[in-house]
Amino acid sequence: MQLPVINNTASEASQGGCSAGSCGSTDDQMNHLPEHIRQKVFNHPCYSEEAHHYFARMHVAVAPACNIQCNYCNRKYDCANESRPGVVSELHHPVQAVKKVLAVAATIPQMTVLGIAGPGDPLANPERTFETFRMLSEQAPDIKLCVSTNGLSLPEQVEELSKYNIDHVTITINCVDPDVGAQIYPWIFWKNKRIKGREAAEILIAQQQKGLEMLVAKGILVKVNSVMIPGVNDKHLEEVSKIVKAKGAFLHNVMPLISEAEHGTFYGLTGQRGPTNEELQALQDACEGDMNMMRHCRQCRADAVGLLGEDRGSEFTMDKVEQMEINYPEAMKMRAEVHAAINEELESKRLAKESKVQLVSIQGVQKKEVTRPVLMAVATKGGGVINEHFGHAGEFLIYEASSEGVRFIGHRKTTPYCEGGDTCGDGESALDKTLKVLAGCEAVLCSKVGYEPWGPLEAAGIQPNGEHAMEPIEEAVLKVYEEMRVAGKLAVKVVEQQKVA
């Protein structure tokens, strides 16, 4: 039996087709974007699981000030070991930042995108943010610029934003209801006053929505980020997704709340938990019917450098950058060659995949049997194939196989089993952590699995599988799914059937 490789949700598939623009995203959501948007974002590492193995991005920390407080943020925090938004080690003046960007771009030619994301709000620091953008637009026209904002001062900055080489703006929108917002934002700074509570949320929401509309009207791509906070905005985000899509946002990125007590945030200290992997996936699925969803966000630091999930920031500290002699016009020629080669490779891969998807879709139509969906974890270093040892994987990609086909669900981080030592600080072994991270998965596909973790994985209901090394991920997942079907492991539970209907 052949199963189709699909890029949309079960509910959409059951409607028998998908319109470009509305399809859910997966490992390669860009194939479902309208062509003019795909052309704009195909080499943006943040927007595609595929592109992020080829292209790199960096953030520069030029924007320290913020004009609001969020309950998941602590402005005192700065730790080089912390990998999460809002955290930086070194703040830059625009001139330094530009120097750093040129140094990175010349050293890592795959770097195509420069973002300003904080550590505060870029648009609450308009002079520093726009000076950086202005210099980069002049000196490095081959670098795309993007910016993220809480939206409070967005409407007054749209005109200025449209002057630079900026084609994406990310707005963090956690709510459209001020009563929900009052539980997320304790205060905003607005017209020379600190405003608290519901009133603050009301102003912030109105500004975000107005800013979104103005950017769309200007033809600037808007992505919306939302932090999923269980019990606060988890249900509400479905409505947010509908509204921002209707207003023209091209992508919605629902991210899990990070709230460790040691971060000292309001949520961390008051015991507000983040969502489980299952809760996050369920919400992303629920939103997906309305919106392109982003599934592979790694929640980078505000000064991250490199490919997604890696940070080479320590190679480019300011004292090291000052020592480097950069001839950018020369570097730009070399960069253009590297980009052309990557683009060619990506384009040929995309075409190959497209023709294959059409083929298996046709064969798949004849199949009538409905089987239950299964989650599988995959260890990969990139390139779309299974090529990582179980013990070396710092993260697993999660795929769902069902009678509709295979789709990318997200990624889950862990401590590599082979580097974990006996126990972590909290007495949990690296293997225990990985078992927990893989909860809900019924198989883990890797290039190799050692003898030691085999037993515990099986005992946890996760079948280790090293038989598909170097095979394309989706094909291997389908093969394993088919083996499970033949073995009679995929009978549909009645409850799940109803959910799909």
Alpha-carbon span 168 to 261, nearest angstrom: 33
Closer to another protein by CB, 120 or 384: give it: 120
CA atoms within 13 A on the CB side of 412: 25
Binding flags for another protein, 131-170, as an x/- string (CB under 8 A): ----------------------------------------
Kind and range of the H or E run holding 478: helix 473-486
Closer to another protein by CB, 71 or 463: give it: 71
Among 9, 26, 67, 415, binds another protein (CB under 8 A): 67
Beta carbons of 445 and 478 less than 8 angstroms apart:
no
Helices (H), 8-125: 10-14, 35-41, 94-107
DSSP letter at 422 equals S
Closer to another protein by CB, 271 or 329: give it: 271
Alpha-carbon span 257 to 297, nearest angstrom: 13
Would you count residue 75 as binding another protein (CB under 8 A)?
yes
Helices (H) and strands (E) in the chain, counts: 16, 15
E runs forming strands in 343-497: 374-378, 395-402, 405-413, 441-445, 463-465
Tokens of 267: 């949520």
C-alpha distances (whole Å) from 266 to each of 66, 178, 275, 304 are: 17, 19, 16, 25
Alpha-carbon span 434 to 450, nearest angstrom: 14
C-alpha distances (whole Å) from 60 to each of 137, 303, 324, 351, 449 are: 15, 5, 18, 35, 39
Among 164, 189, 328, 454, binds another protein (CB under 8 A): 189
Would you count residue 182 as binding another protein (CB under 8 A)?
no
Closer to another protein by CB, 64 or 456: give it: 64
Q: Which one of the spans 25-33, 140-148, 186-194, 223-231 is the region binding another protein (CB under 8 A)?
A: 186-194
Which amino acid type is present at position 93?
Answer: H
Among 35, 127, 319, 426, binds another protein (CB under 8 A): 127
Beta carbons of 389 and 415 less than 8 angstroms apart:
no
Among 46, 87, 91, 457, binds another protein (CB under 8 A): 91
Would you count residue 124 as binding another protein (CB under 8 A)?
yes
Would you count residue 18 as binding another protein (CB under 8 A)?
no
Alpha-carbon span 103 to 97, nearest angstrom: 10
Would you count residue 208 as binding another protein (CB under 8 A)?
no
Among 36, 76, 368, 493, binds another protein (CB under 8 A): 76
Closer to another protein by CB, 208 or 265: give it: 265
Closer to another protein by CB, 40 or 128: give it: 128
Closer to another protein by CB, 30 or 124: give it: 124
Would you count residue 373 as binding another protein (CB under 8 A)?
no
Would you count residue 194 as binding another protein (CB under 8 A)?
yes
Kind and range of the H or E run holding 8: none
Closer to another protein by CB, 194 or 381: give it: 194
C-alpha distances (whole Å) from 55 to each of 48, 199, 334, 412 are: 10, 42, 15, 21
Number of amino acids touching another protein (CB under 8 A)? 25
Instruction: Report the nearest approach of another protein to the CB of residue 185 (Å).
Output: 11
Instruction: Report the nearest approach of another protein to the CB of residue 267 (Å).
Output: 10
Q: Which one of the spans 263-271, 345-353, 383-391, 395-403 is the region binding another protein (CB under 8 A)?
A: 263-271
Among 193, 273, 320, 367, binds another protein (CB under 8 A): 193
Closer to another protein by CB, 14 or 317: give it: 317
Would you count residue 66 as binding another protein (CB under 8 A)?
yes
**Which residues, listed in sequence order, are joined to residue 145 by a DSSP beta bridge?**
114, 166
Kind and range of the H or E run holding 277: helix 277-288
Among 65, 135, 338, 492, binds another protein (CB under 8 A): 65
CA atoms within 13 A on the CB side of 80: 6
Among 14, 15, 39, 270, binds another protein (CB under 8 A): 270
Closer to another protein by CB, 262 or 419: give it: 262
Among 131, 137, 162, 187, binds another protein (CB under 8 A): 187
Would you count residue 269 as binding another protein (CB under 8 A)?
yes
Closer to another protein by CB, 44 or 263: give it: 263
Among 109, 115, 120, 384, binds another protein (CB under 8 A): 120
* Residues near 272 by beta carbon (within 8 Å), at least 6 away in sequence: 71, 229, 230, 231, 232, 257, 259, 266
Sign of the Cα torsion 155, 159, 162, 163 reads: negative
Instruction: Report the nearest approach of another protein to the CB of residue 305 (Å).
Output: 22
Q: Which residues bind another protein (CB under 8 A)?
A: 64-67, 69, 71, 75-76, 78, 91, 120, 124-125, 127-128, 186-187, 189, 192-194, 265-266, 269-270
